A and B are shown apart, each in its own frame.
Chain A
Amino acid sequence: MRREIPMAITTLTGLIMIIVFFVPRWEDWSDIFLKWFTVIAGFALVLGAGSLLLVNLNKISRKASGWGYNVVLIIGLLATAGSGIIQGIGPGTMFDFIFVYFFTPLSATMFSLLAFYIASAAFRAFKAKSLEAGLLLVTAFIVMLGRVPIGEMMWNALPFAQSIPLTEIIEKWIMGCFNTAGQRAIMLGASIGIISVSLKILLGIERSYLGGGD
């Protein structure tokens, strides 16, 4: 029974979500269920915080190498969560200070690392080893160059450049045609995958999320 009840809950909830989607009189319930979802996920954060504290306190108590960093992590966690829950999250609070001067620069810098990684990935991966890799290389090459003035200058130096503008090649043919077709094929395939997995979950065929231990 410890497995049947959860499966029944899944199937029932899934069916309700589908039905309320089509029935305007009940459409509020879709929204309410999604709010319940966020509430439950909110409770789950207790599990997350527990896990984070456990792993780090463990390292600290074992005096594992670099345990000082784990102390930093715990201080960061407690200071941010504590100030935000007790004092609130409005402007001028300590939470706001942490957000602006700690969280934001850290996020933005982490994000900007992508500029470096995209270069190194391109250097390594874009080798014309096969026809497929060649196509990948050539399209990326054209788009990358064509999007900056320097690329246009180079293109305009070519003899046939006047008859075919570079932007048209990129926007209309590469982006509007091949990229669109490729993305669409992926999305259509993926959506069939999503529907298939969803259906299998509703039918109880896919139940790995339940784990074991009947």
Chain B
Amino acid sequence: MIPTSIYNLSVDFTGNQLFAAAVEAGKKFSTGEIIGVWIATALTIFIFSFLYEDNAMYKFAEHLFVGVSAGYVMATTYNNVIKPNLFGKIQSGIVSLMHGQFVWKDLSFILAGLMGLMLLMKLVPNMGWLSRWPLSFMVGIASGLGIVFTMEALVLKQIDATLVPLIVKTAANSIDIGDTIKNWLIVIGVCSGLIYFYFSKEHKGLVFGTMSRIGIFVLMMAFGAAFGYTVMARVSLLIGRMLFFRDQWWPVVKATFHF
């Protein structure tokens, strides 16, 4: 729940099939698109070459990627954050000030701008200490939210989800053995897992020894299951990348060599 970043960490792959659909509809490629797809093809192969070993092609692609992605982040931050949230707010604050209305929520962004500048004081000798002020502000936000959001989104929700009846009845009022066992396993699993995380007790004896041992078993099964479950998604990614060659590259090859 803690807002981690303004950037979306999942990558949006601009649709292969979008391209294929356009081709289907009898679209002609522009020179830019032809060049673009060839570049994309080359870069794809460059990155894949790393699987064999580090080489000049990968080094080229890697350095280009770091440069381009850093540039990408800077440009989007400027356009999506600095422009609307800093310049935009201050401007609208000043405009309403000129109309005699003091909109504090807009004008307060001057303070944010000042803190941003203080952070840059790090570059000025003997003024570096000033950069800790905005940093402390950021850490303060993190820790304040860290307490309340974690409580709300994790602790209470997870406890709530773990509260299950230990005897499950079916509609006909007999005991549903499958669900009852499942509930027991979940409750014991969560409890033993938590006991595994005990720091102030040696993992010995009946309670802490056995339970923490069960705890580690449950954790390991959870890891195994999650691992196995993720394999499918990861293979899909590779399939998606292979479809790039079919849906984007191949039509462009045809267009390039006119066949």
Contacts and interface: CB of A to CB of B under 8 A. Distances in A.
Contact of B74 (A85, A175, A176): A85
Contact of B147 (A48, A69, A199): A199
Contact of B234 (A22, A82, A115): A115
B68 A184 contact: no
Give the size category of A's interface with B. Answer: 35 or more
A184 B158 CA distance: 7
Contact of B68 (A77, A133, A141, A144): A77
Contacts of A108: 11, 13, 44, 237, 240-241, 244
Interface residues on B, range: 35 or more
Given A13-B144, A38-B85, A114-B237, A109 B68 contact: no
Interface string B37-59: 10111011001101100000001
B18 to A, nearest CB: 11
Interface in A174-214: 174-192, 194-195, 197-199, 201-202, 209-211, 213
B227 interface: yes
Given A77-B71, A105-B40, A40 B138 contact: yes
Nearest to B195: A185
A211 B32 CA distance: 50
B206 interface: no
B77 A14 contact: no
B160 to A, nearest CB: 11
A102 B60 CA distance: 12
B109 interface: yes
B20 interface: no
Contact of A185 (B11, B64, B189): B189
Q: Which 9 A-B pairs have the closest CB atoms?
A: A84-B75, A182-B222, A185-B193, A181-B189, A76-B67, A80-B71, A13-B140, A17-B144, A143-B228
Interface of A: 2, 5-7, 9-18, 21-22, 28, 32-50, 52, 66, 69-70, 72-85, 88-89, 95, 97-116, 118, 122, 131-133, 135-144, 147-148, 172-192, 194-195, 197-199, 201-202, 209-211, 213
20 contacts: A9-B133, A13-B136, A13-B144, A14-B147, A17-B144, A33-B141, A72-B60, A72-B64, A85-B75, A85-B78, A88-B79, A101-B39, A104-B12, A135-B220, A139-B220, A148-B232, A182-B219, A188-B158, A191-B151, A192-B155
